[in-house]
Amino acid sequence: MNRQLPPHFSLTLLAATLAAFCCVASAQSADPATSLPAGVIDFAGRVARNHWYLFGTAKRTEMEALNRELREAQQQLDKANTDETRRDAASRGTAASSRLREHVNACAHLVRVDLTAAHPMFTPGGPIELPGDTGALLLEVVAGGAGLSYRTAGFDLSLPPGESSLATLEVPASGTNYAVIGLEHLPFGRTTLGIEFKRPDQPPVRLPLEVTTPAPGRLKLTVLSDDTGQPAPAMVRLLWRTDGGSRQPGNGIEFAPQFDKQGKASGARNANLPGPLADSFWCVPAPFDMTLAPGEWQIGVRRGVEHEVIFENITVRSGETVARTFRPRRWTDMRQHGWWSGDDHVHCRILSDADARHLMAWVQAEDIHLANVVKMGDIYRTYFEQRGFGPDYRVVDGEHVLSPGQECPRTHDQIGHTLAMNITSMVRDPERYFLYDEVFDAVHAQGGLSGYAHVNTGLFHVHRDMSLNVPRQKVDFVEILQFNQLGTDLYYDFLNLGCKLTASAGSDVPWGGTIGEVRTYAYLAKQRFSADAWFEAFRRGRTFTTSGPMIEFRVDKALSGDELQLKADRQLRVRARAWGDPQRMAPVKLEIVRHGEVIRAAESSDPKHPEVQLDFTVAAGHGAWIAARARGGDGTSAHTTPIYIVRAGLRFWKYDGVDELIAKRLASLAEIEQIVADAKQLNAEGKLEKDRYRKQLALQGDALLERVTRARNLYANLQRTAEAEREQRRPSGR
């Protein structure tokens, strides 16, 4: 934009320019990060990811490259420890910023406004055509003087109260500012927007801008069950190619009210699974009919891990209807093999029939047969309230069950999170909160199952309480798979000490992505499915966990969780099979693990048939635990509960690692002693009146230390047991 300046202004402008240049040069020599205009990285990310259509398909790759270049330059600046690397990073960022500005200035959709003019106005003045009910405005805002900056903003036109279509933008007091304003839920047709520019210490400037959107089209979508051929709940994704954003289906369930503002409190669920499965899907309970902006759309449909995932591209045209029916095919049916899926860790309020219907639709959409719906507690309060516990409060719909359980006690900085299933009442006492064994005993007295959450990552120092209560046989299960992360370090340590533990998995929604993204299968054989049958199979350890591949595993005739008792060494026959979705899991790798070490492995070779089997013999030796694990080529994984090989008079532990294993547990006990001592000291100094966790830890510390002493005695007994077994183990050298 060329403007004539008064002659006397040229010297003033030259002096100001030189002063600004010196300041910038000085600032850059001190801090090269200032070479990147303010806000440019967020701006580049927004236009590359969400509003690339402004620049056209031909330039999409270039915009993505500039976004990446700017972010990498900033990361290089942040990590630079020499002047040379700072200069290189600053030069790299400056070059990318300049190219970005060139593309913005050349963009046909750029709208300019000069706030220094006597009567500011938009150029062009409109109407601005947007691609649909969602779009963006690309603005150049001149405020006078030197400076360059970038802004991003977003406005939902369905949210402002009253009759309003006002969007505000904060801009600097001077300089040139480039802004991208995302707009959502625009009316179809013609709309007059009010764009208000706010600058420091100056009155706002409000200007009208006419925008238009094309008439919508219509989508009718039905998802059928592969079992019955009838409409069924499903997870559905609607992606508009124009902006790369997902849309809520017409009847997509919004779960936020049932999430107590915890985790990701939204019905848009992004699974912790590979590739496009990680994109935003909504639970759709039934067929729907809705309007969509014209353009290219991608529909995604999935119904849990046992079904193929469907993606189809469609074209929606103004005034026309597109009808689609999908029937996701099962690539496996684990029920036919006797296995029934469950999720041990689902957070969701159920206080009404409507709450129950919504959650049941989600469970059915993900093909989970039993969900342990946990009321969560901490030392202050509870969350995700339930109507009650026990069989009378289960929600049953055919072969799908919502069963209330609990995640409590939970301590983040002390001794970990616990889970309970199949309880008849919640067990919680803040004045005894750190004495987890009392909760485990009460849960067992109710006929329930006790375990630990987040064992796959060791979050919240869960190893500490595990060191107290696992060897005492207070614990039934541990979560070794969550967020598609299989973690077995802690699990193997306790198995190697000769402690039986059932392998489990839970999604932990709403912190997790979606129900059943990881799941536990329990083996019912030919028994009819029910919650009681599932819990009994789980109690026996007849489980495997998975985020993708399926596993079958036997040692002789024993199944996962079984104890195979032997009087002498002999050969054992190990048989295992792993298989996965042919569309996305090849190759599948299968491993047999003994005492944490791989003793046999195989990988599928047919890219269209990801299945592998192992059939071999191995010596029983002096006993062991043996398990199977698998990994899909897409990064999903699975793991069984072990089969326990027990020689008469011997533990099935990893005998040659006992000293190291016990040392780890004693170190965990020492950590408990230290946190109790620290809490007692702070309490004696009167510093814990606002910290209920550590206050109660101090008050309950003596009782907890009694349990530490009991555990130390137990580990001393284990060391004596190891010494007593020495002679019996010597002949085989194992």
Tokens 């489980």 — which residue?
A: 543
Q: Per-residue pLDDT tens for 131-184?
A: 999 999 999 999 999 999 999 999 999 887 777 789 999 999 999 999 999 999
Cα–Cα distance for residue pair 679/551, rounded to 1 Å: 46
Tokens 């973690």 — which residue?
A: 487
Cα–Cα distance for residue pair 576/479, rounded to 1 Å: 22
Tokens 């469609």 — which residue?
A: 314
Q: Per-residue pLDDT tens for 288-327?
A: 999 999 999 999 999 999 999 999 999 999 999 999 999 9
Q: What is the pLDDT of residue 731?
A: 65
Mean of pLDDT over the chain: 93
pLDDT, average across residues 604-631: 97
Query: Is residue 730 very low, low, confident or very high in pLDDT (cuts 50, 70, 90)?
Result: confident
Q: What is the DSSP letter of 319?
A: T
Q: What is the pLDDT of residue 243?
A: 87
Percent of the chain's residues with pLDDT above 90 = 91
What is the C-alpha end-to-end distance of the chain, expressed in Å? 85
Cα–Cα distance for residue pair 683/322, rounded to 1 Å: 68
Q: Per-residue pLDDT tens for 215-234?
A: 999 999 999 999 999 999 99
Q: Per-residue pLDDT tens for 278-288?
A: 999 999 999 99
Give Cα 104 to chain centroid, integer Å.
Answer: 35
Please say whether the beta carbons of 269 and 281 come within 8 A.
yes
Joined together, the tokens standing for residue 412 give: 């983040």
**pLDDT at residue 15 tops 70:** no
Q: What is the pLDDT of residue 160?
A: 74
Hey, which residues does 283 pair with through a beta bridge? 235
pLDDT, average across residues 549-562: 98
pLDDT, average across residues 50-60: 92
Question: Strand (E) positions, 491-540?
Answer: 502-505, 519-523
Inter-helix orientation angle 40-49/60-79, to 10°: 150
Phi, psi of 199 (to 5 degrees): -120, 150
The H or E element that residue 275 is part of is none
Choose the weakest-confidence range: 152-166, 358-372, 497-511, 552-566.
152-166
Q: Per-residue pLDDT tens for 398-440?
A: 999 999 999 999 999 999 999 999 999 999 999 999 999 999 9
Q: Per-residue pLDDT tens for 435-490?
A: 999 999 999 999 999 999 999 999 999 999 999 999 999 999 999 999 999 999 99
State pTM to two decimals. 0.90
pLDDT, average across residues 183-190: 92
Q: Per-residue pLDDT tens for 708-725?
A: 999 999 999 999 999 999
Phi, psi of 415 (to 5 degrees): -135, 15
pLDDT, average across residues 613-622: 97
Q: What is the pLDDT of residue 245?
A: 87
Q: Are strands 623-632 and 637-640 parallel, antiparallel or unpaired?
A: antiparallel
Joined together, the tokens standing for residue 20 give: 């600004």
Q: What is the pLDDT of residue 18?
A: 33
Joined together, the tokens standing for residue 723 give: 């010494």
Q: What is the DSSP letter of 241?
A: T
